[in-house]
Structure 1
Amino acid sequence: MTTPTDETSPSLEEGNNNNAIRINVNVNQRLFILPAFGAFTGLSLGLLRGSRDAKLQFLAENVHKQPRTVRGWYFYNKTKNYRMMLGGLRTGGRDAVKIGALGFVWAGIEEAVLHTSSELEPGKEFIAGLGTATAFSVVTRLGAKAGRRAVILGGAIGGMMSLLRIAQNRLEESVKKAKKEGGGGRGAEEIGGAP
């Protein structure tokens, strides 16, 4: 049996052709981080709240039929604990989806603002807060008064986040300026830069 020559056999390097078409989708990390953090927060809060509510419900339903033996108390507490776990997981999953979706809406509105106009970039958090609060009010069918409060609260939270981001950018600029100047007055170490 003869081996093919180098001219007729495709080399392994041809599979890594630089002329191949690549499809790249650039997605901002905030679209992943914010909903994931919201889902984790919702899961944590839902586990605590749901297990507590399930425990209280179990105790209220079984207050008239308390066990009389050690074995009865064992199964009573075992059943109560299983109900607490189930209630916590149900509520935790529900809250994780809700808060994760709110985080996704917030991040999506921010990205839409950035892609729409770069002039709106300083107020992207404020716009995202207003949009998320409005979407929440519509989905949960809040009344006019409660909806107005939700939108005001969303705008306030978004505005505070915008102000914090602006302050962070100014602080970073002052640290860079102090490092570049080489320490006239306060050094970069005093401002918060690395030594």
Structure 2
Amino acid sequence: MTRRDRPTREEWTPTREEYAQTWKESRLSIPPFIRIPAAAVAAFGIGMCLGLAHGSKMAGLRYRAEHAHRLPTTTTGWYLYHKSKNYHLALGGLKEGMKNGARLSILSTAIFCAENLFDVYRGTRDMFSTVMASLAVAGGFSFWNRFSAAETARTARKGLKFGLAYGAIQDVMSLAKGRPVGYIEFIRRQIGKATQLEEKTT
């Protein structure tokens, strides 16, 4: 490719109308290059908060159990006991928070990326792409963790419920914004064809 054949900066840069149209047609009115990183950050924050609460609680219980047979008997001993306990609470909560945050962030990123891939492949944005993405990630998660058949089925059910709920919410918001929804448009076309046939026969 010669220098003359290469696209110029103006050809690569979208116009303001194209940029606005991208925002309008995207899920939740947020383009994928913003929606996916934002979902990953939000998921990490939620997982971090949940992990901090659960991890610090478990670390506190574990510390109490490990030191139940040698409780301090002096004021200084109790001060050091609680100081050490608070350190273990913070460390345990931080470790569990980072672990949960990273896990939830990876799963959320995978679901949103798969959802976008299904949207592009199918040429439409609706609940079915969300459901397929959730089931695909649930299956991959089960395979990675080597779940049993019962655990895999339970994980798939959770993925299906999440996909249906989240997909339905997005579809309702799309209809409210005036964006086309795949299966709704299909139903409307079928009703329109049926109406035309009735008018022709009468």
TM-score range, shorter chain: 0.7 to 0.9
Q: Distance in 2 between matches of 1:168 and 1:41?
A: 23
C-alpha distance after superposition, 1:149-195 (max 9, x if no partner): 2112211220122222222233344xxxxxxxxxxxxxxxxxxxxxx
> Alignment identity in percent?
25
Match of 2:49 in 1: 44
RMSD: 2.4
Match of 2:87 in 1: 82
Instruction: Check whether the contact 2:32–2:116 (CA below 8 A) recurs between aligned residues.
Output: no
Match of 1:64 among 69, 84, 89: 69
Alpha-carbon distance, 1:50 to partner = 0.7
Q: Distance in 1 between matches of 2:92 and 2:76?
A: 24
C-alpha distance after superposition, 1:50-106 (max 9, x if no partner): 111111111001111111110111000000000110111111111111011001101
Match of 1:157 among 151, 157, 162: 162
Alpha-carbon distance, 1:20 to partner = 5.2
Match of 2:121 in 1: 116
Report the secondary structure of 2:69's partner residue. coil
Instruction: Check whether the contact 2:47–2:97 (CA below 8 A) recurs between aligned residues.
Output: yes
Match of 1:14 in 2: none
Structure of larger gyration radius: 1
Runs (4+) of structure 1 exceeding 4 A deviation are 19-24
Alpha-carbon distance, 1:145 to partner = 1.2
TM-score by length of 2: 0.70
Q: Distance in 2 between matches of 1:103 and 1:22?
A: 33
Relative to structure 1, the CA distance from residue 21 to residue 167 in structure 2 (aligned partners, 3 Å threshold; closer, same or farther) is closer
Alpha-carbon distance, 1:146 to partner = 1.3
Report the secondary structure of 2:147's partner residue. coil
Q: Distance in 2 between matches of 1:150 and 1:90?
A: 25
Instruction: Check whether the contact 2:139–2:152 (CA below 8 A) recurs between aligned residues.
Output: yes
Structure 1, unpaired ranges of 5+:
1-18, 174-195
Match of 1:12 in 2: none
TM-score by length of 1: 0.72
Alpha-carbon distance, 1:22 to partner = 8.5
Match of 2:153 among 148, 156, 161: 148
Q: Distance in 1 between matches of 2:146 and 2:104?
A: 17
1:129 paired to 2:134: yes
The worse-fitting range, judged by mean Cα deviation, of 39-48 and 153-162 is 153-162
| Count of residues in Structure 1 that have an aligned counterpart in Structure 2 | 155
More helix by share: 2
Match of 2:200 in 1: none
Q: Distance in 2 between matches of 1:30 and 1:131?
A: 20
